[in-house]
Amino acid sequence: MQASNFNTNLLLLSILAIFVLFIITITSVYFLRRIWFKKKRKLVWTPISCIERRSNLSYNEFVQEYASIGKPVIITDVVKNWKASTRWTIDFFRDKYGSVLTDGVRDKNSGTNISMTIRDYMDYLEAGETDKSLYLIDFPLFDHPELYEDCEVPIYCNNLLENLPEKLLNKYGFHQYIFLFMGRKESSIGLHVDNFYTQAWLGVIYGRKRFILMPPDQEKFIYGGKVDAFNPDLEKFPLYANAKPVEFILNPGEIIYIPSMWWHQAENLDSTIALGFNTVNEWNLEIVLHAASQTNPIIGNLLGLLVEFPWLGRVALATRLL
């Protein structure tokens, strides 16, 4: 009996030792990778005076000439190949999704979101001048997966979070990373950087957008984004006179890459439909992890480990550790 107990205890100790060794190994790998990322993948940005337009751009060219040096670029031959480029119109959404109710319509006058059916919002878009300023910033795309068949995430939009469980991302504030935006002529989204300093992509499917971009070193001139970059009040915001904004128009069928921490503001020149992506890659991972830890220290520090070992996220959800 004593020998049996001894063998059982020895087996349990062996399993525990293997488990501890396993944890030490993956933790060591993780921290070594973090050190490598910090040393080799430092976030940089490149000042620009205009936005380059490129086509037939390979992924390696994108990384070397833009992503790795924090430089925006417009890619002209991606969105044009989507079915959405010919299907997604105001009439398409009114006819097919008119009864869908969304609470993702932002009322610029009140600064709050309101609920509307898609049909009512499309009618608003076509009504012309109005005293309302409404922007659809959260169409429930995930509830209508058939829409994904009309578009394709570009090869450039490599996203380290896509292997993590969606439930986990939503639970801790990393919501869907694909967004459908709709807005009428002259509506706009104010000067901002994207949540958690993710990098942004915006493809225009219908209409045209006017853009202003500014690199992170311009932040000292823009008063936390309170400035209207298209119509700056220099009496109220005198430092903005020193800013060097880059302005351009994004046409239907074009997609803009906006690196992490770049400030941007957009205004619709027509009623527009656009698709946006927010992504995390090796070039902005560290700044995203830091920003996430400021909001939620636990998940911010665990997120890097989960990115390195995505299966841990599934285990954590299954065992209710997260």
Reported as a single tens digit per residue, the pLDDT across 36-90 is 666 666 678 898 999 999 999 999 999 999 998 999 999 999 998 899 999 999 9
pLDDT higher than threshold 70 for residue 122: yes
Whole-number Å distance between alpha carbons of 166 and 154 = 20
Q: Can you give the pLDDT at residue 186?
A: 84
Question: Confidence class of residue 34 from pLDDT cuts 50, 70 and 90?
Answer: low
* Pairing verdict, β 53-54 and 73-75: parallel
The order of strands in the sheet holding 134-136 is 53-54, 73-75, 255-258, 199-206, 272-279, 178-183, 134-136, 101-107, 112-117
pLDDT higher than threshold 90 for residue 244: yes
Q: Can you give the pLDDT at residue 6?
A: 55
Q: Given phi > 0 = left and psi -120 to 50 = alpha, else beta, which region is 113?
A: beta
The order of strands in the sheet holding 209-214 is 188-192, 263-268, 209-214, 246-250
The two structure tokens encoding residue 237: 């915001």
Q: Can you give the pLDDT at residue 27?
A: 65
pLDDT higher than threshold 70 for residue 235: yes
Q: Can you give the pLDDT at residue 14?
A: 67
| Model pLDDT for residues 147-174, shown as the tens digit of each residue | 989 998 888 988 887 777 777 666 665 5
pLDDT higher than threshold 70 for residue 223: yes
- Which stretch, 115-129, 136-150, 197-211, has highest mean pLDDT? 197-211
Q: Can you give the pLDDT at residue 292?
A: 82
The two structure tokens encoding residue 95: 């006819």
Which domains, from first to last, does the chain contain? 43-79+156-318 (2.60.120.650)
What integer best gives the mean pLDDT of the chain?
A: 84
Whole-number Å distance between alpha carbons of 191 and 212 = 8
What's the rounded mean pLDDT across residues 276-300? 82
Task: Identify residue 97 by its one-letter amino acid code.
Answer: Y
Whole-number Å distance between alpha carbons of 98 and 85 = 20
Whole-number Å distance between alpha carbons of 141 and 119 = 16
* Pairing verdict, β 209-214 and 255-258: unpaired
pLDDT higher than threshold 90 for residue 7: no
pTM for the model: 0.83
Q: List % helix, strand, coil for the chain (3-state, nearest 5).
A: 45, 20, 35
Q: Can you give the pLDDT at residue 206?
A: 92
Cβ-based neighbour number of residue 49 at 10 Å: 6
Task: Identify residue 101 by its one-letter amino acid code.
Answer: L
The two structure tokens encoding residue 239: 């430092």
